Amino acid sequence: MLGQGVVLVTDHPSRSAVHAEALRSLTPCTVAGPEVEWSAHAGVAAVVADLDLNRTAAMQCLLALRRQPWAGALPVLCLMVRGSDRALRQAHLLGAAACLPFYTEPHVVVTAVLNLVDPDQGGLNATIRRCAARAAGALGDLFHAAAQAGRLDLAAVDRSVDPLLESLREGGLARWLNTLRAHDDVTYRHCLVVAGLAAQFAAHVRFPLAQQRRLVRAALVHDVGKARIPRSLLLKRGALDATETAVMRSHVELGHAILRASPDADAAMLDAARHHHERLDGSGYPDGLSGEAISDVARFIAICDVYAALTERRPFRPAMTPGEAMATLAGMGRQLEPGFVQAFGRAILGSV
Ligand SMILES: [Fe+2]
Ligand SMILES: [Fe+2]
């Protein structure tokens, strides 16, 4: 039970019903519309807002909350329809402590509320969250530089690598992945998940430390070409048409070009960025490489990348469980290196 419970304020009551139900497993949850009388809810532990922040009534609702004398440090979690920079900035200006897509699975919303209400839970979670925030911040700088200047500040990669390795050392892979679930930028989150998986995998197969770092750095930048893909396409719900698919696929060549323009990029980064969607049977892109033509680095990152994608939530399908994702990987025997897939399974399944 958290304080006086939580208020879920929504202009989509039917959509919010699953979140209200999940929150009630934790604490009393009052569902209200944007016209809610906040003074009646002094003492609540948190507010979850599933509101269209483009609407005046929704904005006024959150502004009225901020005017309450008791609401100073009250955590507000916004469930968002749009994940654009502008929408996220607006939500934070209106007092959101965190933002998640509106389709976020209910148990993840509950975890996010718990984390917001009790950020020092066990100390360890707070450390890992701080590491994740530092790593994501550095990755944000990296993608920004890639989008603006077309090349990377490789020092920013290292600013992500160290907090990531520290987190894994402190709390293990499961906590790292759990912490990232609440991160609101889908591309950074994906890169940090792939890098965490790569770190776990590389440590499990006892690569030398220098090689572990090389693989983690390559994993962090494998999708850097997405910095140059329109955000509307990255966030599109539902299937892509042929033109959109071609644009999306160009992220591998864009990423390779960005890294080639970055003097400190090493061969593993260039290889991972260009070839992580190649498949052993030649069905991948952009070069249709097959068999021996695909390097170990590209095979290794490809497995982490596919597993990450399968276990990520998407607007149009639920996330797979680790077991389901591993079964899917094992079924891709002609596309992914079977020996690596088995080793990856052993590295991951005891840890998530
Ligand atoms: Fe990719
Ligand atoms: Fe990826």
* In the predicted structure, residue 123 carries a pLDDT above the cut 60: no
Q: Is 88 in the same domain as 197?
A: no
Residue 238, in any domain of the structure: yes
Residues whose beta carbons lie less than 5 angstroms from ion ligand 2:
223, 305
Q: How far is the CA of 79 from the centre of ligand 1 (A)?
A: 26
Q: How far is the CA of 218 from the centre of ligand 1 (A)?
A: 12
Residue-averaged pLDDT of the chain: 87
pLDDT computed for residue 301 by the predictor: 97
Q: Is 188 in the same domain as 296?
A: yes
For residue 256, give the ligand nearest its CA.
Answer: 1
Q: Is 60 in the same domain as 156?
A: no
Average pLDDT over residues 105-111: 81
Sign of CA dihedral 9, 14, 16, 22: positive
H or E stretch covering 86? helix 85-93
Question: Tens digits of per-residue pLDDT, 287-302?
Answer: 999 999 999 999 999 9
Please tell me the distance from the alpha carbon of residue 116 to that of residue 331, in angstroms, as a whole number: 39
Residue 1, in any domain of the structure: no
Residue 188, in any domain of the structure: yes
Residues whose beta carbons lie less than 5 angstroms from ion ligand 1:
223
Residue 208, in any domain of the structure: yes
Give the relative orientation of helices 209-221 and 296-311 as an angle to the nearest 10 degrees: 60
Burial class (CB in 10 A: 0-12, 13-18, 19+), 104: buried
* In the predicted structure, residue 104 carries a pLDDT above the cut 90: no
Domain that holds residue 216: 124-349
For residue 193, give the ligand nearest its CA.
Answer: 2
For residue 276, give the ligand nearest its CA.
Answer: 1
Q: Is 317 in the same domain as 182?
A: yes
* In the predicted structure, residue 227 carries a pLDDT above the cut 70: yes
Which CATH number fits the domain that encloses residue 44? 3.40.50.2300
Q: Is 135 in the same domain as 229?
A: yes
In the chain, the number of structural domains is 2
Residue 77, in any domain of the structure: yes
Last residue of a domain, one of 117, 150, 174: 117
For residue 187, give the ligand nearest its CA.
Answer: 2
Q: Is 161 in the same domain as 226?
A: yes
Residue 80, in any domain of the structure: yes
* In the predicted structure, residue 139 carries a pLDDT above the cut 70: yes
Question: Tens digits of per-residue pLDDT, 206-226?
Answer: 999 899 999 999 999 999 999
Question: Where does 182-321 have alpha helices with state H?
Answer: 186-204, 209-221, 231-234, 242-249, 251-260, 267-275, 296-311
Q: How far is the CA of 50 from the centre of ligand 2 (A)?
A: 29
Q: How far is the CA of 248 from the centre of ligand 1 (A)?
A: 9
DSSP 40: G
Give percent of the chain with pLDDT exceeding 90.
48
Q: Which two structure tokens, joined as six digits, stand for 3?
A: 């304080």
Last residue of a domain, one of 57, 87, 117: 117
- SS3 of 325, please? helix
pLDDT computed for residue 242 by the predictor: 96
Q: Beta strands 98-101 and 29-32: pairing type?
A: unpaired
Nearest to 288 by CA among 301, 272, 303, 275: 275
Residue written as tokens 């919010």?
16
pLDDT computed for residue 316 by the predictor: 67
Question: Tens digits of per-residue pLDDT, 59-70?
Answer: 999 999 999 988
Q: Is 107 in the same domain as 165?
A: no
For residue 309, give the ligand nearest its CA.
Answer: 2
Last residue of a domain, one of 117, 132, 160: 117
Question: Tens digits of per-residue pLDDT, 154-165?
Answer: 887 888 888 888
Provide, for the chain, the percentages of residues in helix, strand and coil under a 3-state DSSP scheme, each rounded to the nearest 5.
60, 5, 35
Average pLDDT over residues 231-242: 87
* In the predicted structure, residue 269 carries a pLDDT above the cut 70: yes
Q: How far is the CA of 252 from the centre of ligand 1 (A)?
A: 6
pLDDT computed for residue 221 by the predictor: 93
* In the predicted structure, residue 245 carries a pLDDT above the cut 90: yes
Q: Is 302 in the same domain as 334?
A: yes
Residue 300, in any domain of the structure: yes
Residue 344, in any domain of the structure: yes
| Three-point CA angle 129, 86, 13, nearest 5° | 80
Please tell me the distance from the alpha carbon of residue 252 to that of residue 261, in angstroms, as a whole number: 14
Q: Is 210 in the same domain as 336?
A: yes
For residue 190, give the ligand nearest its CA.
Answer: 2
Which CATH number fits the domain that encloses residue 158? 1.10.3210.10
Kindly write down the DSSP assignment for every residue of 117-175, as one continuous string. Answer: H-TTTTTHHHHHHHHHHHHHHHHHHHHHHHHHHSS--HHHHHHHHHHHHHHHHHHHHHH
Q: Is 248 in the same domain as 325?
A: yes
Q: Compute φ and ψ for 319, nearest 5 degrees.
A: -70, 145
Please tell me the distance from the alpha carbon of residue 303 to that of residue 277, in angstroms, as a whole number: 10
Question: Tens digits of per-residue pLDDT, 140-153?
Answer: 888 888 888 888 87
Q: Is 107 in the same domain as 136?
A: no
Q: Is 66 in the same domain as 184?
A: no
